[in-house]
Amino acid sequence: MDRVFFEQLGLPEPKHNLEAGSGTHGEQTGRMLIGIEKVLMKEKPDIVLVCGDTNTVLAGALAASKLLVRIGHVEAGLRSFDRSMPEEVNRVLTDHVSDYLFAPTEKAKGNLLKEGVSEEKIFVTGNTIVDAVYQNIRLAEKNANALEKIGVNGGEYFLTTVHRQENVDNKQRFRNILEGLELLQRDFSLPVVYPIHPRARRRMQEYGLDGGSLTMVEPLDYLSFLQLESKARLILTDSGGVQEEACILRVPCVTLRYNTERPETLDVGANVIAGTEPGSILEKTMLMMGRSREWENPFGDGRAAERIISVIRGLFEK
């Protein structure tokens, strides 16, 4: 699925491809740890940057720490305070093994300080996701025709993503979410577009669930999805990144979880926590449908990458 990102965004070919594939958390992380260690031993970098909260991030940080290579964690300090989420474990471990922590917001910096991280290691830079959205939204508007392909009009559909382990691996939760989405479609007479992740589709088949009248489509490329986000009436998601993108694009968001590591979206009124019960999903959607879109983006001005590079240059010039 990553192939399309390189093609669409004109990115250079990666020098190394681990081809780690999928598997259990332990299997996947272990394969990446072995592969990344070999790359680092060959390349001998001065610093390794890891971005986000995936298993790749944890494997990269562990490999670098064992080889005594300095580590910078981009998007440091995010916390849902729910250790049952694999991403939360990855975030915490990566933060505490990193030498430099690039926090997107003051709130993220505060989380790190509360955990005893030295303030001199923390740099508030904004989030690179803002850089990506600002750089690519015009490209999406020019080159993507997702709405036409799916058969929806701007501002006249809901967009949803549901993929997290705690939701799709729990039959009752997944059933509840699907029922909630169908309630929205019925009550608002708007289609619910659901680009379904392969794993979520497998779980639906295993559980004997179906999407009912939802508009279920195959996973989308980045530009098509960005276009769908920007034109949606409202977004319902269990993705942290999509919560941020919705906030940046000023599209109201309803989070299909019981917590979020992006509380800034709640603070500015761009997002609300609904959980997974159908009634709550409907109630929170009604709330957000009436909300003004004039909130301020709390994640920066689109120059986070510049700040991170500037900090690194300063550190290595000392």
The answer to whether the CB of 280 falls within 8 A of the CB of 271 is: no
- Token digits for 55? 């298993």
163 is catalytic: yes
Sort residue 242 into left (φ over 0), alpha (ψ -120 to 50) or beta: alpha
DSSP codes of every residue in 14-77:
PS---------HHHHHHHHHHHHHHHHHHH--SEEEEESSSHHHHHHHHHHHHTT-EEEEETTT
Q: State the catalytic residue, choosing from 16, 25, 73, 163.
A: 163
3-state class (DSSP) for residue 285: helix
Write the burial class of residue 140 (CB in 10 Å: 0-12 exposed, 13-18 middle, 19+ buried): buried
End-to-end CA distance of the chain: 41
The answer to whether the CB of 128 falls within 8 A of the CB of 299 is: no
Taking alpha carbons only, the member of 244, 234, 240 closest to residue 259 is: 240
The answer to whether the CB of 102 falls within 8 A of the CB of 123 is: yes
**Distance between CA atoms of residues 174 and 166, nearest Å:** 9
For 103, phi then psi, to 5°, come to -85, 135
How many other C-beta atoms can be found within 10 angstroms of the C-beta atom of residue 157? 23
Output the CA–CA distances (angstroms, integers) from residue 164 to 15, 171, 173, in the order listed: 30, 13, 11
Output the CA–CA distances (angstroms, integers) from residue 170 to 163, 176, 181, 294, in the order listed: 11, 10, 17, 36
The set of catalytic residues is: 163
